Amino acid sequence: MKTINEYKPKTVSHPGTTLREKLVELNIGPKEFSIRIGKPEKTVTAVLIGNSSITPDMSVLFESVLRIPAKFWLNRQIQYDEAQARLKRMQVISDAEEWTKSFPYAEMANHNWVLKTRNTGEKTINLFNYFGVSNHKAWENLYLEQQKIRARISLNTSKEPYALSAWIRRGEQLSEENKISEYNEKELKNMLPEIKLLSVTQPSNFLTKLHAIFSKIGVHFVFVPFLPKAPISGLARWYKNNPVIQVSGYKKRNDMFWFTLFHEIGHIILHGKKDMFLEDFKYSENDKQKEAEADKFAVEWTFTENQEKEFMQYPVTRESILNYAQKIDTNPAFIVGRLQHKKVVKFNRFNELTSSLSFSGAD
């Protein structure tokens, strides 16, 4: 992040004030001055009362009559115009106060996404910079209206569009920082067995290994910690010609994390470039079908339906889970997760065969 010093407007008078003082000093009235510079009197009057600007053409004419350099008048006009623009900007910042309060700013600052501050105005400026917008209306157009057009999803259906947009934006920023290859769908499919192996072995640096695998085949893989008001597990989308898989670590249990990852890979392989898919999000019936297809893809890479049917022929015990997982070369946590999800066993059964993944320092 870069600190951007916001201009603090000071009172800057219109250059017409200086012109009026000079004409009084020289004992020249507006009518005489208008004749001397060859401009209508109403034009001169408009400048004197601050209703009109001094143009480059006028500044040169002023120089001839008043012996004050044209650059002086132009600089005065620029200073005044900038001061007026800054004052308008301060009003825009003031108008966005309620918008700013809607974001989980403290949590964002703790993740170093924005600068820490208690000043509401500074928070607003930092949020404008974070999202790359000039005002809160632009944010609404970009993340509430245009998002639906660009990604066929509306954050308006979310209870927390502010926190969710912040989480999505961080993924965009990290994707922009990534230097990756051109996307290769064939290579993504070829790398699935290696990703499956990582889900079974779960080395401590699995996030780093995943990042290396995906970068090589042109997929942005970004880890963005979830925000309290946006408990989203994962996202799949296309961003600037490359697919993005964004994970949060919200569901720290290993079976849930890896299922989410394969689910998002499924979206990238099976569905269009214009869609954005958010895990645990309310969808239309058409998108629900796509979610089901991505779920089926994830099932095939974790614990298939046929494998599940075969396993259910045995008594469900800790030993049978471990033995069958070894037989089909999968993680026993995937079997436990399926059994719990389908309520074959209670959610507190066999949890010792799952593990909690650590994402500390990943952002």
Give yes or no for residue 151 having a pLDDT over 60: no
Give yes or no for residue 282 having a pLDDT over 80: no
* 256 within 8 A of 302, measured Cβ to Cβ: no
Task: Work out the average pLDDT over 125-129.
Answer: 97
pLDDT of residue 17: 96
Indicate whether 242 and 321 sit together in one domain: no
Q: Which amino acid is at 21?
A: E
Indicate whether 182 and 85 sit together in one domain: no
Distance between CA 335 and CA 332 in Å, rounded? 5
Give yes or no for residue 2 having a pLDDT over 80: no
Which band of pLDDT confidence, cut at 50, 70 and 90, is reported for residue 113? very high
Distance between CA 78 and CA 54 in Å, rounded? 9
Burial category of 192 from C-beta neighbours within 10 Å (exposed 0-12, middle 13-18, buried 19 and up): middle
Indicate whether 268 and 309 sit together in one domain: no
Indicate whether 214 and 262 sit together in one domain: yes
Indicate whether 196 and 273 sit together in one domain: yes
Give yes or no for residue 9 having a pLDDT over 60: no
144-148, 160-164, 211-215, 268-272: least confidently modelled range: 144-148
Domain that holds residue 27: 15-95
Write out pLDDT tens, residues 11-50: 799 999 999 999 999 999 999 999 999 999 999 999 999 9
- Does residue 45 sit within a domain? yes
Indicate whether 185 and 275 sit together in one domain: yes
Q: Give, as one character, the DSSP assignment of residue 357.
A: P
78-92, 133-147, 169-183, 339-353: least confidently modelled range: 133-147
Distance between CA 262 and CA 334 in Å, rounded? 12
- Does residue 205 sit within a domain? yes
Distance between CA 321 and CA 337 in Å, rounded? 11
pLDDT of residue 277: 82
Indicate whether 332 and 289 sit together in one domain: no
Mean confidence (pLDDT) of the chain: 90
Angle made by CA atoms 160, 162, 165, in degrees to the nearest 5 = 105
Domain of residue 33, CATH code: 1.10.260.40
- Between 149 and 67, where is the model more confident? 67
Write out pLDDT tens, residues 290-332: 999 999 999 999 999 999 999 999 899 999 999 999 999 999 9
Percent of the chain with pLDDT over 90: 78
User: Residues in the chain, how many?
Assistant: 363
pLDDT of residue 150: 47
Domains held by the chain: number? 3
Indicate whether 267 and 185 sit together in one domain: yes
- Between 68 and 152, where is the model more confident? 68
- Does residue 40 sit within a domain? yes
Which band of pLDDT confidence, cut at 50, 70 and 90, is reported for residue 361? low
Of all residues in the chain, what percent are helix, strand and coil, respectively (each to 5)? Answer: 60, 5, 35
The pTM score is 0.82
